[in-house]
Structure 1
Amino acid sequence: MNTGDFDTQAAVRIRIVLVGTQHPGNIGSAARALKTMGLSRLVLVQPERFPHSEADALAAGADDVLARAHVADSLADAVSDCRLVLGCTARDRRIALPQWTPREAAAQVVAAARDGGEIALLFGRERTGLENEELQLCHAAIHIPANADYSSLNLAMAVQVLAYELRLALLQGAAARLPAPHDPPASHAQLEGLFAQLAQTLDDIDFHKGRAPESAMRKLRRLFLRASLDEREVRLLRGVLADAQRMARLAGEAGPTPPLSPPGGLG
């Protein structure tokens, strides 16, 4: 394939998000990895040291990618407008997320980008990776099937692997496409608003009955993320939740319901 086949319109909808990067050299190396594969959008969430001369040095000609890198105060801000959020992480069976190889992920990312969506691929800290709370914001996890006896990958190397697979998919004219929705797909921020209202509603109706709410919310998040809700569906669900909250408030104002008299009493 020649470079004329490269889908630049889809490429600009794909962002690489580095979360809590500790070594500035890895930021520069990641920028270089992106530029070699025709990608340009780099987002940094709370980097420990940036800007930094080491990042500039290791960018090695990708200074434009580094200069345009967006620094976000939180991961939620960095992905708020995204339709698809994927986290690159070591395989962990305790994480209740679909797990894709880089090639599988690239096909889904490019299909979603060609369908008009904004996409984010997340990479965590060098020593600890993405935290569980950060993975909860993802639709799926990406696992690089490295040598099990020596699976440690430098952060920039992992970015390079994903960037290469994305380039292959962007060079293909017939990538798998997601079904075209009737309404715009819900953004990450809209889904997070739904999840926050859902959590509050479950508290309002005493759904948990004293049990810890985290497990139920994790399962409900997975359920709704798998459903690929559009904006209208999110509005509908939030309307249902608003009515449930209103009824819970009215019930609370009315006080406890008196117990029913047993049947067959004397009268």
Structure 2
Amino acid sequence: MLSNFKVVLVETSHPGNIGAVARAMKNMGMNQLRLVTPKYFPHADATARASGADDVLKIASIHDSLSEAIADCQIVLGASARDRTISWPSVTARECAEKWVDVAGGANIALVFGRENSGLKNHELDLCQYLLRIPCNAEYSSLNLAAAVQVVCYELFVASGRQYASSIGDRGEESLATAEQMEGFYLHLQQTMADIGFLQPERSKSIMRRLRRVFNRAWLDTKELDILRGILRFSQNHNLK
């Protein structure tokens, strides 16, 4: 779906920024990069900053003008952090994603980003139907080129509904502890605290109620519960010696 979105960079000065943009795009499942008269490309700095997104650089197209780069696009959005003298229809990155991600299959959409130091010129914005804005600190609204592209691509990725399951950790491999198992743990915990002299009879209800809240928030699985009960058993055995 997102292949219909074309990231267009106009007169990029630093080749490293092109590589960083390619990396940002690939992070979000996008690969259509168009370059308008880049100062240096291809370049080793671009490849280095791409950090594995060489395939995006390899298929990037180079154009002599912005008009040529967007010739096949039905919707063109020009990124701009500066206010313009003439009022221009504008959308935020999130509004852009919500508005056009569902029609991307039937239309080519250009996301145009200007020069690192000066952005897009007025005659280039004349070719765009919308200003594309990224809400940020009004006192410091200048975003790095790759960071701006990353934000927009992220919003498109989220709006497209694409998800990748996390492979970090083992959450879900063990079943959650049952109510019966948790009650057994609380009784064990209370007895252990009494055995080591921590729990005072007049405060036991209040302390146990708070501890229940702590452990209930944790959604313990059976393996985690076994570890905790093992600690309690060790504490009891050690206290008896």
Shorter-chain TM-score bucket reads 0.5 to 0.7
> Does 2:128 align with 1:142?
no
In the other structure, the counterpart of 2:122 is 132
In the other structure, the counterpart of 1:23 is 14
In the other structure, the counterpart of 1:235 is none
In the other structure, the counterpart of 1:74 is 65
Count residues in correspondence.
163
How big is the shift at 1:11? 1.0
How big is the shift at 1:155? 0.4
Structure 2: which amino acid aligns with 1:86? Answer: L
Q: Which aligned pairs between 1:109-188 and structure 2 lie closer than 5 A?
A: 109-114=100-105, 116-171=106-161
How big is the shift at 1:150? 2.0
In the other structure, the counterpart of 1:42 is 33
In the other structure, the counterpart of 1:188 is none
How big is the shift at 1:56? 0.5
Instruction: Flag structure 1 segments of 5+ consecutive residues without an equivalent.
Output: 1-9, 173-267
Q: Which aligned pairs between 1:1-267 and structure 2 lie closer than 5 A?
A: 10-114=1-105, 116-171=106-161
Q: What RMSD, in angstroms, separates the aligned Cα atoms of the two structures?
A: 1.4
Q: Please give the TM-score of this superposition, normalised by the length of structure 2.
A: 0.65
Query: Is the 2:77–2:111 contact (alpha carbons within 8 Å) kept by the matching residues of 1?
Result: yes
Residues 95-116 of structure 1 show CA distances to partners (whole Å, capped at 9, x for unaligned) of 43211111001122313313x1
Residues 217-259 of structure 1 show CA distances to partners (whole Å, capped at 9, x for unaligned) of xxxxxxxxxxxxxxxxxxxxxxxxxxxxxxxxxxxxxxxxxxx
In the other structure, the counterpart of 1:258 is none
Which of these two proteins has the greater Rg computed from alpha carbons? 2
How big is the shift at 1:12? 1.2
How big is the shift at 1:76? 0.6
Using the alignment, how far apart are the partners of 2:17 and 2:10 within structure 1? Answer: 12
Q: Give the SS at the match of 1:12.
A: helix
How big is the shift at 1:93? 4.1
Q: Give the SS at the match of 1:103.
A: helix
Structure 1: which amino acid aligns with 2:130? Answer: A
How big is the shift at 1:143? 1.2
Using the alignment, how far apart are the partners of 2:121 and 2:75 within structure 1? Answer: 18
Q: Please give the TM-score of this superposition, normalised by the length of structure 1.
A: 0.59
Q: Give the SS at the match of 1:164.
A: helix
How big is the shift at 1:151? 1.7
Query: Is the 1:112–1:119 contact (alpha carbons within 8 Å) kept by the matching residues of 2?
Result: no
Query: Is the 1:91–1:143 contact (alpha carbons within 8 Å) kept by the matching residues of 2?
Result: no
Instruction: Flag structure 2 segments of 5+ consecutive residues without an equivalent.
Output: 163-241
Q: Give the SS at the match of 1:171.
A: coil
Structure 1: which amino acid aligns with 2:80? Answer: T
How big is the shift at 1:81? 1.0
What is the aligned-residue identity percentage?
A: 54
Q: Which runs of 4+ in 1 moved over 6 A?
A: none
Q: Give the SS at the match of 1:21.
A: coil
